[in-house]
Structure 1
């Protein structure tokens, strides 16, 4: 069984690879962004693709959507920090075979792989307790943002620096900066210092 792993954070990528190989599975490809993940899936057609949601280029959900649209047989497992209900619901629309929170990966990943290998779907046993409502509606300016960008914006509204956001979301600081630039562009904000911070505090944090 061929397995691909895609995660922007080098530590998480290598850790996941080591875990999976310790179970006796073969990891044929690893990468750190969604575009590479999609290209490798199209090229090598792995049996399983384990994807993070927060990645540059394409996020994990976007990759899953394109895999579904292309009718590729690769089964997608999302291994993520995201606990928002709307993200989980969106994932189910893209025929995700597995959904595991990173904090529970050590306890669940082996069982998940075994189930998916046998053609069954595996949703984390912890989700019922861990899933939370999303912060803010999917309307107006926020509707143009991807899930990854919204997660970044949420942390900006909490006045976190790019380095702090990177550590919190298991991303590289460069990826966070890239997301910030895209958010500024989509929201039509001036490219001046603290413009995104000011907008986030005034418009995002106050959302119900």
Structure 2
């Protein structure tokens, strides 16, 4: 039987996704609530499929994808996230994920996405047809595209009201490092306050 790992720190999502993955013909060999465990369990089990949230403790989802690709583990990764932003979707595609499903959609769509992924297809409905190849943005979107993946995750936590200490705990970083990332984000986006940052995030569906 094909093997799958589910990575999410919300018990309800885990339970719902587990049922869908099992119904799609997979054995769920591990469930993880943080990115560090996700990488370790993927190395251990070498699963055919991983369902991965982006906003997880330890290592964020983008870091998990990057590390698994660096280790050349051939697991097909489908991101399941509350984010609907094209910025995050494109980053997942570029990192090596094969699909992106919003938690705001009916989760039953995940079965079709899994089947498509295992047949060799990709699923990124948030992206325009040429977004995978054309990474040129204008104005604010261009500035957002210039942020590193870690800076994007710090921005996400900031606009959700987390302070430096809370972000540091979520990403397993020091408060000083988070403060540095925060300063870089504000500078690169040419905004001076977290409120202005939140307004920009809202315009680009980053939440």
List gaps (5 residues or longer) in structure 2: 129-137, 184-191
Shift of residue 62, structure 1, vs aligned partner: 1.1
Residues 24 and 114 in structure 2, CA contact (< 8 A), matched pair in contact too: no
When residues 175 and 108 of structure 1 are mapped into structure 2, their CA distance, relative to the original with a 3 A threshold, is farther
CA gap 1:186/1:147 in 2 versus in 1, 3 angstroms: closer
1:147 equivalent in alignment to 2:141: no
Relative to 1, partners in 2 of residues 1:102 and 1:12: Cα closer, same or farther, differing over 3 Å?
same
TM-score where L is the length of structure 2: 0.71
> Considering only aligned residues, what root-mean-square deviation do their CA atoms show, in Å?
3.3
Structure 2 match to 1:168: none
Q: 1:56–1:175: 8 Å Cα contact kept in structure 2?
A: no
The answer to whether structure 1 residue 183 and structure 2 residue 175 are counterparts is no
1:49–1:137 distance in 2 versus 1, CA, 3 Å? same
Deviation per CA, 1:147-206, whole angstroms, max 9, x where unpaired?
3321111122xxxx78xxxxxxxxxxx779635956346447xxxxxxxxx9523x5246
Superposed counterparts of 1:72-111, under 5 Å: 72-111=73-112
Residue aligned with 1:106, SS: coil
Contact 1:144 1:186 in 2 (8 A): no
Deviations, residues 33-75 of structure 1 (Å, cap 9, x unaligned): 0111011111111001110010111111111111122221111
Calculate the TM-score normalised by the size of structure 1.
Answer: 0.70
| 1:16-35 superposed matches below 5 A | 16-35=17-36
**Counterpart secondary structure, 1:79:** strand
Hey, what's the Cα distance between the residues in 1 that align with 2:199 and 2:124?
32
Measure, in 1, the Cα distance between the counterparts of 2:141 and 2:169. 21
| Distance in 2 between residues matched to 1:26 and 1:43, nearest whole Å | 15
Establish whether residue 137 from structure 1 lines up as the match of residue 143 from structure 2.
yes
Pair 1:144–1:23, CA change in 2 (3 A):
closer
* Whole-angstrom distance in 2 between the partners of 1:137 and 1:102: 26
Write the deviation string for residues 83-111 of structure 1: whole angstroms up to 9, x where unpaired. Answer: 11121111111221111111224231111
Contact 1:98 1:123 (8 Å CA) reproduced:
yes
What is the alpha-carbon distance in structure 2 between the residues aligned to residue 176 and residue 82 of structure 1? 21
Provide the secondary structure at the position in 1 that maps to 2:101: strand
Counterpart residue number, 1:192:
none
**Where does structure 1 lack aligned partners over 5 or more consecutive residues?**
163-173, 189-197
The secondary structure found in structure 1 opposite 2:55 is coil
Residues 7-52 of structure 1: CA deviation (Å, up to 9, x unaligned) = 1222212221122223442111100001110111111110011100
Distance 1:204 1:103, change over 3 A: closer
- 1:46 aligned partner: 47
